[in-house]
Structure 1
């Protein structure tokens, strides 16, 4: 993942709502940099009253295990797997 300030990649925009992806791309314009600024400007055009409160993560049945983005994001490969997590397979007789 690259920070938007790196301006490393580009994205495509098209104001027309076209069902066919090939037709949409043919009429699209390539924009340089990150799409985050474009998306943020689009969001700013909406009334604050239209904003929806974010839902609460987790429930009694499915509790949150850890804060986002999660510990797995910080793991480096190769990941050591505990034998306790690998199910034992019995040989067929």
Structure 2
């Protein structure tokens, strides 16, 4: 799956705010003036949607997913990830 290249937008230590839509028809990232929206096909059960968002963001940023840490929004649609 092809995602937009976000590698030059966020330095190490940056916090990335995203709005998540679980149970979407396909995984994708949308960028707008309001911020990042990540749509994932995973259901929001047992952390599956959070892990899918982490995987997708890591791929778009060109980072290993171990460098992305969910710091806020474990059970909310609005999440904040930090690049370690």
Structure 1 length-normalised TM: 0.20
Higher strand fraction (1 or 2): 2
**Larger of the two Rg values belongs to structure:** 1
Structure possessing the higher relative contact order (Cα contacts under 8 Å, 6 or more residues apart) = 2
